[in-house]
Structure 1
Amino acid sequence: MTRRWYVVRTKPNSDKLADTTLRREGLETFSPQVETPIEGNQRKRIPLFPGYLFLNCDVYEQDRPEVSRMPGVLGWVRFGSEVPWVSDEVISELKRRVDAFDRQGGIWEKFESGQVVQVSHGKFEGLATVLESPSSPESRVTVLLDFMGRQVRAEVPWLSLTAAPENNDDVAQGRRRRTRGRGRWINGFGPRASVRAKAQIPVTQTDSGS
């Protein structure tokens, strides 16, 4: 029996349910997950490709499971009438990279010295410049910011920082940008956004069929 890795779409917020369902059917799955920091210096694992997982099954369409009938699963990823598959080498490389991410403390944004960031931490709120890059998500970051009309150095938690958008008028003119406050992520920033930016499914070839 010849088997290949295929990509399955899952229902919203149902990656874990879909993975559990497919495994209970005796199928081999791969749902890459990485660590990411959250509030309170805690960590949790989140999907590297939210809404998708990999399924190893028979190459012949008539022998593939009817995944769309299973809880948590929407169906196969298709390109028109073709069902793409992923090589074993790509799956192995993904597993290697997930292990590498975990050894580095998971996926988190490593702000560089000189980078402009948005600070949302207590009395410090506004744009700042990173003076020293953080060594880990648990470390405090030294920044230079405007406070009461003068520039001051401050150490703030990594979780209180988000990258300032490029080519933003607020950045160019040095004005403050409104945030949600209390270290909560602005929509489009934070660890989940970093993960989504990496979520590109590496399809290599396709099989014809529906």
Structure 2
Amino acid sequence: MINQFFPNVTMDDLITATNETLYMTLISVAGTFILGLLLGLLLYLSGPGGLWQNKILNWITASVVNIFRAIPFIILILLLFPFTDFLIGTIRGPKAALPALIIGGAPFYARLVEIALKEVDKGVIEAAKSMGSKSSTLIFKVLLPESMPALVSGITVTAIALIGYTAVAGAIGAGGLGDFAYFYGFQRSDFDVVFICTILIVIIVFIFQFIGDFVSRKLDKR
């Protein structure tokens, strides 16, 4: 049936491209969550009224986040070629796309983390402080648990953005559905290939959105 409607699509190549997109997305989401969470915590804790209030530290962190958020992803990939080659040993393939995906996604998520933390009830934080809670206790027992539904929603939004980034990375040889759509579809004028790649990317986005919304709702009801 697929061959009937999409005559130029090779199933083995399509499955490989889909697996590469899922690989890039899952690994980059995990890396983005960790790095973005650290940056977001640093932004919040070093900001005005934060536990570690420090203007210089906050300015440096905010500047790093803003700079990398401002760089278009396609340019960021090119700028990171030397770093990627040093770290991975190549600038092509799904693994080579991971540094750019994580570095591109983490600053975006860091701002969402900062917003989520600012929405935590100040009364809860003050109550924990009055009980003599240490900074680590406030972070891991109050701030993160209280903001978890918003953090999950934020990483869901970021994951969907990263799926789009993988398609962009594919256009310069990172593999995945973007690579398959561009090199095997667009450049050969086989638009059935482009179309089926688009459908699969949309399906992946819907799956990530469904999972993120489901987890966020479950956490919100706790």
Structure (1/2) with the larger helix percentage: 2
Q: Which structure has the bigger radius of gyration?
A: 1
Above 0.5 in TM-score? no
Q: Which has the higher contact order (CA 8 A, sep 6+)?
A: 2
TM range (shorter): under 0.3
TM, length-normalised to structure 1:
0.26
